[in-house]
Amino acid sequence: MKTFSSLLLSLSLCLMGGMVSNVAVAKKLTDDELRARSMDQGRTLQSRIRALKKLYSHMLIDGEIPPRTTCVWDVLGKQGPIYASTIDQALRMKHYGISLKVEAYTNEQDVVDKLKEGHCDTSIMSGAKAKQFNDFTGSIESLGGVPSRRHMKYLLQVLASTHAHKKMVQGNYHVVGVIPIGFNYLFNRTPGQPRLNNLFNAQATAAAVIEDVNHNALFNAFETQLLPVQNISGAAGAYNLAEADMFMTPLVGFNMFNLGQGLKRGSIVDYPLSQMTLQVISRLDTIPMEVGQFLREDIFVKTNMFYRKVENNTRGVPREKMFKLSSRDTAKLEAEIIDIRQKLTDEGVYNVSMMKLQKNIRCKIDKQRDECKK
């Protein structure tokens, strides 16, 4: 997670001397005034950093930042791209006096548990797992809520604003970054152009599902048989071995899970069901709220870079295996997804504020949508 590591450099600028000159403040500012300066996006970066440096000078030990531990979920462990990029940045950051310990976990639940135990200062996990720490950002992945990359960029821009920073904090944790991974698509074992009724045939098909409200809600709506699995690796394995007829995953999973094996007699429904994100969750007692704001801003600036990485990792997906539903089936699926999203919102599963924000963005981009005329 190259961006997260580079962002810790901002923290070093806030807390260390040498990188930014320690310009004296004309008058002694209160903590509230320093905090306001650090969160003021109208000020220069240097001005905000000076305020942060003064506000959190008590965090230094012998003039240096205490070591921080980042726990990374990477299905390939230490051989994976997320771990590798984080290690690369950690080595570079030693030149700036920052000691960053990076640990890789193939089991996503481990990064969750280690964060709760206090072993990790920061954990990088999927949006589905991040929901327990923040249901606002955890609802980004709502079914049909963010239907295009353009919508996602608008959303990330809002989340990077200081106007949204209070929503990023819940309890003892805050979301210091949201990284887009791409859309979730339906991989199925039906060759050629699929029909909706055949895909979700309750008697003939079974879907591999992880512990994710979106996966379960979609398949339950069509009364599809469910095959519960522990993680996305297990779902991909069940699909490849023909133990499951379908499952949801972003296209970046094609190479990671060798899904060409399952696709030999299958296809991909070319319809974006939901977004998938990686979310960077930090402890407030080790990564201050104001630093978290800097991190979110920097991650947003690198949004296009993340999308380029996603594109590079999906080039191997056989486009001839992607098929669109008929216009009739597409309309039926969209209507079902709208009903599911509203039901989950009414039940408190999706965060109401996030649902309103997503709707506002959808209507900003397309005012002719039916939901925008009400």
- Non-local CB neighbours of 64 within 8 Å, separated by 6+ positions: 16, 97
Q: So what's the pLDDT on residue 98? A: 59
Cα-based distances in Å from 373 to 28, 121, 360: 53, 45, 12
Lowest mean pLDDT among 1-15, 170-184, 186-200, 344-358: 1-15
Using CA atoms, how far apart are residues 31 and 34, in angstroms rounded to an integer? 5
Position 301 scores a pLDDT of 87
Beta-bridged to residue 269, according to DSSP, are 186, 323
Tokens of 230: 């522990």
Q: Domain map of the chain by residue range?
A: 2-128+147-179+277-312, 184-275+318-367
For 330-349, what is the mean pLDDT?
95
In this prediction, residues 212-219 reach a mean pLDDT of 90
List, for residues 229-240, the tens digit of each pLDDT value.
988 899 999 999
How high does pLDDT run on average in the chain? 85
pLDDT at 64: 58
Angle at alpha carbon of residue 142, lines to 285 and 153, rounded to 5°: 75
Better pLDDT: 65 or 136: 136
149-169: pLDDT as tens digits: 999 999 999 999 988 999 999
The model's pLDDT over 99-154, given as tens digits with 9 standing for 90+, comes to 779 999 999 999 999 999 999 999 999 999 999 999 999 999 999 999 999 999 99
Q: Which of 25-29, 95-99, 164-168, 197-201 has the highest mean pLDDT?
A: 164-168
| Residue 8 pLDDT exceeds 60 | no
Domains 2-128+147-179+277-312 and 184-275+318-367 equal at CATH topology level: yes
Give Dmax (Cα) for the chain.
75
- CATH fold for the domain made of 184-275+318-367: D-Maltodextrin-Binding Protein; domain 2 (3.40.190)
In 3D space, the residue among 290, 233, 371, 372 whose CA is nearest the CA of residue 11 turns out to be 290
pLDDT surpassing 80 at residue 321: yes
What is the average pLDDT across 47-63? 70
List the CATH code of the domain at 2-128+147-179+277-312: 3.40.190.10
